[in-house]
Chain A
Amino acid sequence: MIDIKGLYKDFGALHVLKGITLHIDQGEIISIIGPSGSGKSTLLRSINLLEEPTFGEIWVEGRLITPPDPYLHPEVIRASNTYKKLSGTADDAQLIARIKKEDLLYEKHEGAEYRRLLREITGKNFQSAYEVRKKIGMVFQHFNLFPHMTVLENMTYAPVKVLGISKEEAAERARRLLTQVGMLDKIGVYPSTLSGGQKQRVAIARTLAMEPDIVLFDEPTSALDPEMVKEVLDVIKALAKTGITMVLVTHEMGFAREVSDRIVFLDEGVIVEDADPATFFSTPKSDRAQAFLEKVL
């Protein structure tokens, strides 16, 4: 369903993600946890291209959503002028490793064959950010409801505008989802009148109104007062049972343990552990995960 290959993300001189490779299956629920600054949110936000990767590829439902990364395709490297120039200095595998390691490819100088191969990869597989975002929903830490629209308008705007369904159908869908998250009685109000927990429940319903295949949660309870955390977690738990694919960044360890199929532990931009929750929380393999769990549990 989602395939992340060799993902790097730099913000200027700051290297936030350093070679992330992660596969997420349909229906899986994955929690990404780790110390702050480890790159969790950046990784999550890369999946719907709110962050553009510096290197690497992301595939969603078998189609490429980033530009192809030549370093991930040996046949493309072999077609480059740089490879041809250096060939003879080492064997094929060593040379490819060296070109990757030293970042020697320079798009403009690599010749027509190299560019043709890259275009071929793109042409066969590419889907635009807009296309992929229709299928991937996102729930934000700060809800990001549209303050100038009522709850109903928040929920019908994108389905009508982006998916092209009728206003009536969108309103029907909104009522059904608001019932599901227990917010139907607030359908006509503006977001400013809602509590944090209520806002987040509406935001989750708004995301579901697009009928996404995948939902990303970016610290959905971090901005909430403690007494409101449970109502939001309950909604997410109920959603987890429906079989939708979910990727969560969260600091709620008990919750991550309860709902997740897999825990991905990120530290300093690399995946340190990738295990089922029982294994991860009882017997973490790495020192860094152990140290982290000692602090948060």
Chain B
Amino acid sequence: MKLDFSIILPWLPNFGAALIVTVQVTICSLLLGLVLSVPLSLCKISNLRPLQVFADFYTSVFRGVPLLVQVFMMYFGIPLVLPVKFNAFQAGTLVFAMNSAAYISESMKGGIRAIDRGQYEAAMALGVHYPSMMKDIILPQAIKSVLPSLVNEFISLLKNTTLISSIGLVDILRVGQMIQSKTYRAFEPFFVIAIFYYVLVMLLSTLGKYLERRVNKSDRH
């Protein structure tokens, strides 16, 4: 079979719009996931048993249920039993965010635990209150040590966003499926899509390396 990439050309505007959707979903879920992961990791390291149990249960649910099932649950299932209504973008972003929060909080927990007891003691001895101590002393150091796994999490998040095409949002993958059904060609559109994702992931990991270098400047001798 002869390959003809020119069939993609008329779809470029659709790809452009879809790329924006993919990036939007990724960034929104990433930020929301990070925000959610902080209280979650604090619960995990807390001395209060109920908070610990809650956070561990939360993580086990999001780890234990396939992501596609979570997406369907949020989009089709929840609105039937609760008085809420999501569009596909909101449902997808919320699920991805809650899902990443589960994973990020787990590595954040490790990062917080790895911080020397002396850092807490120095902060306490200076009269610093718990919230400021966590915000200004402990978490900045913990985030630094979890940055590599954070970048991994962002990358899998970006790739996972393809699942929102299954609830009807037009992301990059969905455009490919549209081309396929219109032109009966599969190689060209999916090849282009593969390249799209590959480039995006490369950009993310470069950004990750840059960030890592920046936060490590305090270690330089």
Contact = CB atoms under 8 A, between A and B. Distances in A.
Interface of A: 48, 50, 129-131, 133-134, 136-138, 140, 142-150, 157-158, 161-162, 190-193, 206-207, 210
B219 A138 contact: no
A192 B217 CA distance: 10
Contact of B218 (A140, A144, A147): A147
A192 B220 contact: yes
B19 to A, nearest CB: 36
Contacts of B124: 50, 129, 133
A144 B137 CA distance: 11
Contacts of A193: 220-221
B206 to A, nearest CB: 23
A280 B138 CA distance: 43
Given A48-B125, A148-B141, A161 B118 contact: no
Interface in B113-155: 116, 118-119, 121-122, 124-129, 132, 136-137, 140-141, 144
A140 B122 contact: yes
A157 B136 contact: yes
A84 B217 CA distance: 67
A148 to B, nearest CB: 5
A191 to B, nearest CB: 8
Contacts of B217: 190
Contact of A146 (B122, B125, B220): B122
Nearest to A131: B127
Interface of B: 116, 118-119, 121-122, 124-129, 132, 136-137, 140-141, 144, 215, 217-221
Contacts of B126: 133, 137, 157-158, 162, 206-207, 210
Given A148-B141, A161-B132, A192 B125 contact: no
B121 A210 contact: no
B126 to A, nearest CB: 4
B219 A158 contact: no
Contact of B141 (A137, A147, A162): A147
A140 B118 contact: yes
A131 B126 CA distance: 10
Contacts of B127: 130-131, 133-134, 158, 162, 210
Nearest to B140: A148
- Quick one: which of B124, B127, B132, B215 has the most chain A CB within 10 A? B127
